[in-house]
Amino acid sequence: MAFDIRKIRDDFPILHQDVNGKPLVYLDNAATTQKPLSVIDAEAGVYKTINSNIHRGVHHLSNVCTEAFEDVRKKTADFLNAGSSDEVIFTRGTTESVNLLSSSFGETFLGQGDEIILTEMEHHSNIVPWQLLAQRQGVVIKVVPVTDEGELDMQAFTELLNEKTRLVAVTHISNVLGTINPVKEMIVLAHAAGVPVMVDGAQAIHHVPVDVQKLDCDFYVFSGHKMYAPTGVGVLYGKRKWLEQMNPYQGGGEMIDKVSFSGTTFNDLPYKFEAGTPNYAGVIGLGAAIDYLKNLGTKAVWEYEHELFEYAVKQMREVPGIRFVGQAQNHTSVISFLLGDSHPFDVGTLLDKLGFALRTGHHCAQPLMDRFGIPGTVRASFAFYNTREETDSLVDALKRVAMMLG
C-alpha cells in the first residue's frame, strides 16, 4: 500500500466516534465525503484571519483573501490540467454547474428540434435541467440505454448521434452502479459528428485521475463536498471557445464590465459566470482538499480504493440472498445491492443500528431504478480512509441482517 491508512484516518476526526453504541463505519462517500483537518482548518482560518469580500476592495484583507481565492483557481486548473485558469468557473456544486450550462449553453446554442443525448444512468441533476430547457425551447432529449450488466449500450449511442445532436451530457462514473463509462470513446465519437460533450465528474473527480485536455471534453463539472472539500462549492470547467460565446447565467456584481440603464457589458472569463459574492471560504477549503489529494497521490488513491472495492465485492458475495445491481467490467468504489426481497430502507435501518452509514433509496436516479424494475438499492460507497476491517465487519453485519429479515 502506498500510504499509511491509520495516519490518514487520524486526519478525519468524525470517523472516530460511536453510533448507537457501535464504532462508526462510514460507507456513504458517494453522497458526501468527510473532511480532513487541513480542510476544516483552512475554511475556519479564512473567518479567523482574512475574511473580507473579494475582488472589490483596496484594503489588506480584501487583497489577501482575493489572492487566496484566485490561487485556488490556478490550483484547480492544474489539478484538471485545464489549458487556462480562465476556463475554471466556481459554482455551488455539480447541480448548479449543470444548470448554468443548461441555461447559458442551451439558450445560446440550442433551439426547437435540436437534440441532447443523455444516458439512462444519469443523476437527476443531469436530467431535470435539460428537461426544463426542453420545455422552454422545444429541445428533444434522447437517452442511451443501459445493459443488464450496468454498462452503456455504445451501439445505441452511435446510432443516436445525428445532424440534430447539439450536446452529449454523460456521467463519468455512475453514482448507483459504480460503472466507469467510456467517456473518452464517447467524446471521440461525438466530436467526429461535430457535437460537444459535457462530463458529470461528481463521482469521478476524487477516485480517478482527470485530465480534461487528454479527455478533450468540452465541459467537466464536479462538487467539492464529494472530494473532501466543504459543501456549497463546485466547479465548471469549460473550453474557452464555448464559454466566450455563452450568455451569462446570472446578473449582478463581479460579472459586469460596465452597467448603465442604456445597457450593460460583461466581464471577461471566468468572472462573467460568477455573479455576486462567491463562497470564498469554501473555495479556499477546496484548495486545501486538492492539496491533500495531491499529497496522497491520485494514482495511489485509485489503486488503494480499487483494491478495497474488489475485496469488498468478493467478501460480500458470501452474504446469503445478496443481489448486486450492476456488474460492469469497468467499475469501482460503489456497490449497490439488495438483500433477498427485503426493502432497502429496512436493511439500511438495521445497519444503522449496528453503526454503519450506508445510503438507501433511488439515489436521485429514478429512471435507472425503473430500468431495473426496483424501488431502490442499498449502496455502500468507499473512500481511501475505509479499511478491509470495516469491510469484514460490514459483511458480518449483512449476514446478521439477512437472518433477522429472513
- The owner of cell 480517478 is 208
The x, y and z cell numbers of residue 132, run together, are 426544463
User: Is-catalytic flag, 364?
Assistant: yes
Q: How far apart are CA 8 and CA 386, in angstroms?
A: 10
Q: Residue 300 CA to chain centroid, in angstroms?
A: 20
Q: How far apart are CA 71 and CA 50, in angstroms?
A: 14
Torsion of CA 92, 345, 335, 300, to 10 degrees: 50
Question: In this structure, are residues 372 and 22 in contact, taking their beta carbons and an 8 Å threshold?
Answer: no
Q: How far apart are CA 131 and CA 249, in angstroms?
A: 17
The x, y and z cell numbers of residue 49, run together, are 484571519
Q: Which helix (H) or strand (E) holds 18?
A: strand 18-19
Q: Which helix (H) or strand (E) holds 171?
A: strand 165-171
Count the neighbouring beta carbons within 10 Å of the beta carbon of residue 230: 21
Q: Which helix (H) or strand (E) holds 185?
A: helix 183-192
Tallying the residues shown for the chain, one arrives at: 406
Count the neighbouring beta carbons within 10 Å of the beta carbon of residue 294: 13
**Phi (first) and psi of residue 71, to 5 degrees:** -60, -35
Q: How far apart are CA 140 and CA 30, in angstroms?
A: 30
Question: Which residue type occupies 89?
Answer: I
Which of the following is catalytic: 189, 313, 357, 364?
364
Q: How far apart are CA 90 and CA 277, in angstroms?
A: 11
Q: Which sequence positions are flagged as catalytic? A: 364
